[in-house]
Amino acid sequence: MTAKTTRKTGGRSRRTKGAGGIIHRADGRWEFRREIGRDPATGKRRFIAASGRTKADARERFGTKVAEMERTGLLPGAKSPYLKDYAERWLEEYRLNVKPTTYRTRAGRIHACMEVIGCVRLTDLTPDHIRKCMRVLSKRLAPSTLKDHFVSLKMMLDQAELEELIPVDPCRRVKPPRVEPTETRILSPEQPKQLIEAVPNRGTKRRGPALTVDVDESWMLLFELAFAAGMREGERYALMPYELEQRDGVPGINVQQQIQQYGKPEDAVIPAWLKAEHLYGILWLTTPKTRAAHRFVPISESLWERLWARVKRLDIG
């Protein structure tokens, strides 16, 4: 190995710690390598490395790699990374730990904040920048949505603090946007019927093929599952016969899956820990939204009988 920087020790030349070095490998390729400290989780030494057919090619690739790591804050550089560049790296790591729908929502919140303060460097970020961001976004967002933007920004900056890129998360010095609690309105027994009857053009001539008995029945069952069982849309569309159970004589649905729009297989990023099966198009069969969403929902005898009648009539496996 030929050192890029050396120092004399006992008559011998050694690399200056952290300076890196050049390796001429047995296959004829050149490799630049530099140690960047130990992994805080495992204690193992970490390296940046890049190789090329020539020394100049390897050096150029190495320089590009170092510049990218400095840009996103993975490696300390002469200047602190811009907030928008750090956000890009944070989101790439975040998407591996959450479901695709959760990632899309969080990424949308972060990107909206970056449109306002993304060109500020991390070390220059102050509570005033956070307040300005919230003021700008408040002009077009509901209070509850604005607060979620604040929470998303704080999650990201908490990580920057843990990585010691900033001394303290400036969000800690800002009051979160105020949200007044709203009363939850519960539909009376007659209101679902009134809602369905109020649908525009109900019963009038429609374009395309006429509705079949099966499609008509399907929509009626979906409406009733929504109103009577409180099942989410994805849970209703994913309902299968094996989820229909009786517990202590009470008919119900053991909710254990849902259908979600994660994108086409070539575009969707599915974390390794997430159980998801591609159905068709952008639709995937996956687990419920949360652990608590895996639940038993009691239903009426009438709905139970109509669901089983449909299963048997259409020979649903």
- Asked whether residue 181 is domain-assigned, the answer is no
Residue 4: per-residue pLDDT: 43
- Asked whether residue 182 is domain-assigned, the answer is no
**Residue 189 banded pLDDT, cuts 50, 70, 90:** confident
pLDDT of residue 141 exceeding 70: yes
- Asked whether residue 205 is domain-assigned, the answer is no
Residue 213: per-residue pLDDT: 73
Same domain, 112 and 41: no
The CA distance from 296 to 302, in Å, is 17
pLDDT over 90 percentage in the chain: 54
Same domain, 262 and 302: yes
> Which range has highest mean pLDDT (71-75, 79-83, 303-307)?
303-307
Residue 282: per-residue pLDDT: 95
Higher pLDDT, 167 or 16: 167
Same domain, 230 and 147: no
- Asked whether residue 183 is domain-assigned, the answer is no
**Residue 156 banded pLDDT, cuts 50, 70, 90:** very high
Task: Kindly state the helix (H) or strand (E) to which residue 223 belongs, with its residue range.
Answer: helix 213-224
The CA distance from 65 to 50, in Å, is 8
pLDDT of residue 13 exceeding 50: no
Q: Which domain holds residue 113?
A: 83-173
Same domain, 90 and 37: no
- Asked whether residue 35 is domain-assigned, the answer is yes
| 236-264 pLDDT, tens digit each | 999 999 999 999 999 999 999 999 999 99
**Residue 11 banded pLDDT, cuts 50, 70, 90:** very low
Check if the beta carbon of residue 285 is closer than 8 Å to that of residue 277: yes
Higher pLDDT, 282 or 181: 282
Same domain, 47 and 88: no
The CA distance from 148 to 245, in Å, is 37
Residue 49: per-residue pLDDT: 76
Same domain, 218 and 305: yes
The CA distance from 157 to 86, in Å, is 9
Average pLDDT, the chain: 84
Same domain, 92 and 47: no
Residue 2: per-residue pLDDT: 42
CATH code for the domain in which residue 125 is found = 1.10.150.130
pLDDT of residue 127 exceeding 50: yes
Same domain, 220 and 264: yes
Q: Which long-range contacts (CB under 8 A, 24 or more apart) does 253-256 make?
A: 253/229, 253/296, 253/297, 253/299, 254/295, 254/296, 255/231, 255/288, 255/293, 255/294, 255/295, 255/296, 255/297, 256/287, 256/288, 256/294
The radius of gyration computed from the CA coordinates of the chain, to the nearest angstrom, equals: 29
Residue 42: per-residue pLDDT: 67
Split into its structural domains, the chain has a count of 3
- Asked whether residue 244 is domain-assigned, the answer is yes
- Asked whether residue 47 is domain-assigned, the answer is yes
- Asked whether residue 186 is domain-assigned, the answer is no
